[in-house]
Amino acid sequence: MTLKIDVFTKDLDLTDKIHEYTIKKVSRLQRFLNEIGDCRVDLAYAKTARNAADRFIAQITIRGKGFILRSEERADGIFAAIDATVDKMTRQIERFKGKRWDHRTEGAAEVTSEPEEEPAEEAAPFIVRRKSFTLTPMDEAEALEQLQLLGHEDFFVFFNANTNKINVLYKRRDGTYGLIDPIVG
C-alpha cells in the first residue's frame, strides 16, 4: 500500500525538485512503521527567524490508528531541514515502537488529577491562531504516551475513552503530570 503524503508550503515555492525530494525521503518512513494512516509535510520559510540557519522549517505529522507523531526541524536550506526532520521522525518511530511494547508489559501510568495553580496573566487581546484536529478515543496511559511522543511535552488534549469526556493532560513544573477533567456547569 502506498503512503499518502500531503505536502504544504508557507512563504516557499514548491518546485518539482523539492516536492519529489520530500516524497522520496518521507515515503521511506513507511519501512519503519506500517500502520501509518496519513502523512502531512509542512515546509516553510521564516522571514523573521533570528538566525539565518533557522530560516527553513520542515514539519512532518504522521497519523495512525490511535497515535500521532510529529517532528519539526529548522536549517539553513530546505533540503537540510527535510533530512533533519526525517531523521528525527525515524528516531521518534523507533522510540514509539519501543515504548508501545514496553508499555504493554508495565502497569498503567500514574496521572494526578489536581490542576496546577497558575498566576493570573493578562488576557491576550485576540486569538492569533486556531487549530482543529480529530480526537481519537484513548485511555490516560495512551494519552501520556502520546504527550511524550509528540515532542512538545507541555499538554495533550484527548477524548478519554473511560469517561467519554475531553481531558487535558499536562506536564507540571515538578516533572509529574496533571489531568484536567472539566465539568460543565
Burial class from Cβ neighbours inside 10 Å (0-12, 13-18, 19+) for residue 68 reads middle
Say yes or no: domain 5-105 is CATH 3.30.160.100: yes
What's the topology of domain 137-180?
SHC Adaptor Protein (3.30.505)
Q: What is the pLDDT of residue 99?
A: 66
Q: Where are the domains of the chain?
A: 5-105, 137-180
Q: Can you read off the three cell numbers belonging to residue 180?
A: 484536567
pLDDT attached to residue 110: 46
Per-residue pLDDT 10s for the chain (185 aa) are 567 889 999 988 899 999 999 999 998 888 877 777 789 999 999 887 777 777 899 999 988 877 888 899 999 999 999 999 999 998 888 888 776 555 455 444 444 444 445 444 555 466 777 888 788 888 998 888 888 777 666 888 889 999 999 999 888 877 788 899 888 87
The identity of residue 119, as a single letter, is P
- The pLDDT score that the predictor gives to residue 1 is 55
The answer to whether the predicted template modeling score (pTM) of the entire model surpasses 0.85 is: no
Contact 137, 159 (CB under 8 A): yes
| 47: three-class secondary structure by DSSP | coil
Measured in degrees and rounded to the nearest 5, phi and psi for residue 98 equal -65, -45
Whole-number pLDDT of residue 170: 87
